[in-house]
Amino acid sequence: MLKFILRRTGASVLVLFFASVLMFLLTINSGDPLRDLRENPDPRAAAMMRARILSMGLDDPAPVRYWNWLQGVLGCFTGQCDLGTTVNGSNVLALTSQAAGSTLRLVTLATLLAIVVGIGLGILTAIRQYSGFDYSVTFGAFLFFALPVFWAAVLLKEFGAIRYNNWIAEGQYAPLTIVVIAVVVAALLQGILGGSNRRRLITASASFVFVAAIMFVFNAVDWYRNPVFGPVMVLLVAAAAGVLTTALVTGLKNRRVLYAALTTAVVGTVAYLAFAYSGVLTEPTWIVMAGLFVLTIVVSVAVGYLWGDYAKRESMTVTTITGVITSLLVVADQLVGHWASFLGLKSRPISTIGAETPQFSGGFWESMLDKGAQLLLPTLLLALVSIAGHSRYTRASMLEVMSQDYVRTARSKGLSEREVIVKHAFRNALIPITTIVAFDFAGLIGGAVITERVFGWKGMGQLFQQGLEAVDPGPVMAFFLVTGVAAVAMNLLADIAYAFLDPRIRR
């Protein structure tokens, strides 16, 4: 396995080298880097041209310029990284660090969301093949996959930002809107759950009544502007997540694992109350939040180990997942509790330009809400395209695996459908999916160029665009380095994941 990874790494380095040569040559020959100065009537323009020619090495032949750039990149391995300067004299390495942080924050969240939702939808559609739910998801996947990114971004800005900001001033849904939303939810749920016509009717009716009643209550208490979640809801949702995780990993018959999951939810909620009343969560720092997250993992693993008995590994897996979900619910509860104060500081919460509000004066939770609101629309846009692809690949891979002999043998042995799907079909179906997910991450960084331009993000897309417009190879090659290294790193992770998913590959 090690030799295989080393060979793949060597091949990837060669690909990066030849691709970087091509990218460099295309960039320096894409225009005139002195065009703005040639048209400048300023008498100092000639001196400025000479200075730019000297700083960019325009008198040197292309191989020499490329070698100078490559030497700076190789210096990164010795701690002397030098990616050059832009035409304006700015340090490219500093600009890349700032831009990469902004883009990776956007792309990482979109990738995680796409993996969870896309793979989940793919599994459900494979299980419910040719059902109404399957057809609906398939239609939606092809629709979102075919949407032009720039057009979808404009639609999101219009309906997800501008019109939402107008609506939140009152925070009330009209009765007709409530009825329409309830009908849509009822139609979706009855399609997902399926069953006989009688069961579908009961599901649709109950869903319609529940959604409509909840939305009317929310209107009455002004919940959309002053929302409340609370520790009780944290406990209930965390317990439900623990039950669901147990059902997927071991089945509900394993009572010790189920009790471990429920214990984790209870311990997490009690710890939340303790930290909340002690003031730790009033105005925390990111270091404090990271420490609390590590503590959550440690406690969750300990609970799983103590409850696990003969199934310690499965128990610790379930409690860790439950603990992470509980911690996310705690953060969500704090954000919900600070929503009203956030609206007091920013009456139009979702901006259409930028990654955060300049000179925002809120506390820790309000600042997180501000950055989260700015992150919402571009993340949703990138995730929708990836979800469409992931769901289709997952469905196809699951259908192919579920028709194999060993899956039919597993069913004939009397294994439960959960064991057949989770332990036999899904694990083997993950191998081709892993490849798609790995390359999709690097692809999202490249695809974020248009998204960042529409939403005004100062990320890698803006750096790439500015470098191309100025015929400046420094920023363009920095963009290539980030995306290329991301592609290589994700490819290596995919190779390692193959060995974990299929032990035969290790040999």
pLDDT cut 70: percent of the chain above it: 97
Q: What residue type is assigned to position 502 of the chain?
A: D
- Predicted pLDDT at 216: 94
- Estimate the share of the chain in helix, then strand, then coil, as percent rounded to the nearest 5: 80, 0, 20
Report pLDDT digits (tens) over 354-369. 777 888 888 899 999 9
- Predicted pLDDT at 108: 84
Look at residue 8 and tell me whether its pLDDT is greater than 80: no
Look up tokens 């997250």; give the residue.
Answer: 293
Instruction: Determine how many CB atoms are found less than 10 A away from the CB of residue 125.
Output: 25
Report pLDDT digits (tens) over 266-276. 999 999 999 98
Backbone angles phi, psi at 85, to 5 degrees: -125, 160
Look at residue 177 and tell me whether its pLDDT is greater than 90: yes
Look at residue 502 and tell me whether its pLDDT is greater than 80: no
3-state secondary structure of 502: coil
Please tell me the distance from the alpha carbon of residue 394 to that of residue 489, in angstroms, as a whole number.
22
* Average pLDDT rounded to a whole number, residues 439-449: 72
Look at residue 213 and tell me whether its pLDDT is greater than 90: yes
- Predicted pLDDT at 72: 87
Residue 246 near residue 255, CB atoms below 8 Å: no
Give, as one character, the DSSP assignment of residue 349: -
Give the residues across from 85 on adjacent strands: 91
Look at residue 235 and tell me whether its pLDDT is greater than 90: yes
The count of C-alpha atoms lying within 13 angstroms of the C-alpha of 225, restricted to the half-sphere facing its C-beta, is 19
Please tell me the distance from the alpha carbon of residue 313 to that of residue 102, in angstroms, as a whole number.
37
Please tell me the distance from the alpha carbon of residue 330 to that of residue 382, in angstroms, as a whole number.
26
Look at residue 327 and tell me whether its pLDDT is greater than 90: yes
User: pLDDT-derived band of residue 128, with 50, 70 and 90 as boundaries?
Assistant: confident
Report pLDDT digits (tens) over 275-311. 988 889 988 999 999 999 999 999 999 999 999 888 8
Look at residue 505 and tell me whether its pLDDT is greater than 70: no
**Residue closest to 23 by CA, chosen among 59, 78, 51, 65:** 65
User: pLDDT-derived band of residue 209, with 50, 70 and 90 as boundaries?
Assistant: very high
* Average pLDDT rounded to a whole number, residues 482-506: 75
Look at residue 446 and tell me whether its pLDDT is greater than 70: no
Residue 180's contacts (CB-CB under 8 Å, 6 or more residues apart) are none
Backbone angles phi, psi at 353, to 5 degrees: -135, 135
Average pLDDT of the chain?
87
Residue 238 near residue 265, CB atoms below 8 Å: yes
Residue 84's contacts (CB-CB under 8 Å, 6 or more residues apart) are 68, 69, 72, 92, 474
Please tell me the distance from the alpha carbon of residue 21 to that of residue 446, in angstroms, as a whole number.
18
- Predicted pLDDT at 337: 92
Look at residue 240 and tell me whether its pLDDT is greater than 70: yes
Look at residue 381 and tell me whether its pLDDT is greater than 90: no
- Predicted pLDDT at 152: 86
Please tell me the distance from the alpha carbon of residue 49 to that of residue 54, in angstroms, as a whole number.
9
* Average pLDDT rounded to a whole number, residues 228-233: 90
